[in-house]
Amino acid sequence: IQVKKVVCGRHHSALISTCGSLYTWGAATFGRLGHPDNRNSIRIVRFPKRVAHFSGRNDNFRVRDISLGDAHCIALTHSGIVLTWGKGEVGQLGHGTPLHCCSPRVVKTLQDSIVAVAAGSQHSTALSAKGQLWSWGIRNGGGGSNNHVGFDKEGSCFVPVLLSHIEPLKVRSVACGQAHTAIICLRDLEYDYSKEEKTEKMGIPEVTIKAANNVTESFHMVDNMLETIDIQKPFSNCRHDHIELVEESLLNGFDVDAIDKNGNTLLLTAAQNGLKRMSKMLLCYGANINVQNKKGQSVLHYCFKYGFLDLFQYFVRKGAKETLRNCTGKTCYEK
């Protein structure tokens, strides 16, 4: 197995292969491993076992990210679908019931394209491409006032709830601890801290606004560090079809969905140059096939425009959406 990512829960572990397959092992109680055949007999799986649901036949069945709670899992596919399974008695699965689930099941109430997921001990979160954050599960696990999920509902919430009070912050990253959640917000938000009424109008606690200001300052520090990193080299290697060098960069931790100044990813770069072998390799490493750059162009837009019809058909078979529109409102078939 070529491993892309490995994560650990309290009593179970999981790994994602470079081709988007998911393997789990550890305690099998409550169905947390996603293996239906373990429901009644096997209580411990001692070696990584592939979760059959994620067959990899298209982006709906290829895992992009995974996060583990105490006894549940939340997975994100390359098409932006969220699935959960395992223990569900306090709503951490988001299926609307307290029932446990031994097979991956889609969280149907999440309609927008999701780009990140995170699990706490008994709560879960999902982040959309628009920067909106959903949360569900137990509000507090110790009978105290700790609020794990970020909304005022007492007890548990069994379906995802949009955290509208932080929506203006445009969340870009989320992480969960055992009983808390942390977010990073877009750096280019500006707030007038001298006007208290603005804070009240936005419905955001003052402490949240101050935290956002600190995060903004932190991003400037990170930007200065990133200036010393040559992220253009993998893109240059991609354009020149140096597949081994690109793969070496990926194995060394380069993000397969990293973007250049024009919003292009490595896969978009490969599509622009009609590189099928490069495209296959990037998809195997989990590249987002439906990504769009700053002009809204997708891999299909470029393949159709430049006449790479064989590569165009390959992308379609792999799940590329022909309905995506660029910034001028045109699909890949329209000039």
Q: Which part of the chain is CATH 2.130.10.30?
A: 3-186
For 150-281, where are the E strands, in sequence order?
156-162, 171-176, 181-185
pLDDT tens digits, residue range 232-282?
889 999 999 999 899 888 887 788 988 888 899 999 999 999 999 999 999
Higher pLDDT, 300 or 79: 300
8 A C-beta contact, residue 29 and residue 38: no
Q: How far apart are CA 97 and CA 19, in angstroms?
A: 32
- CATH of 3-186, picked from 3.30.300.30, 1.10.150.120, 2.130.10.30, 3.40.190.10, is 2.130.10.30
Instruction: Answer left, alpha or beta for residue 96, where phi above 0 means left and psi between -120 and 50 means alpha.
Output: left
**Phi, psi values for residue 133, rounded to 5°:** -120, 130
Q: Do 55 and 47 touch, CB atoms closer than 8 A?
A: no
The DSSP symbol for 108 reads: T
Are 126 and 117 contacting, i.e. CB atoms less than 8 angstroms apart?
Answer: yes
Mean pLDDT of the chain: 82
Name the pTM for this structure: 0.60
From-to residues of CATH 1.25.40.20 in the chain: 228-318
The whole-angstrom separation of Cα 241 and Cα 52 is 34
Tokens 């149907």 appear where? 108
Which segment of 6-20, 29-43, 215-229, 269-283 scores lowest on mean pLDDT? 215-229
Looking at 42-51, 93-102, 298-307, which range is the least confident one?
42-51
Which CATH superfamily groups domain 228-318? Ankyrin repeat-containing domain (1.25.40.20)
Buried b (16+ CB within 10 A) or exposed e, 160-188: bbbbeebbbbbbbebebeebebebebebe
Alpha helices in 227-275 (DSSP H): 232-239, 243-251, 266-272
Q: Which of 153, 128, 38 is nearest to 86 (CA)?
A: 38
Give pLDDT tens digits for 199-243: 333 334 444 444 444 444 444 444 444 443 467 889 999 999 999
- Is the pLDDT assigned to residue 188 strictly greater than 70? no
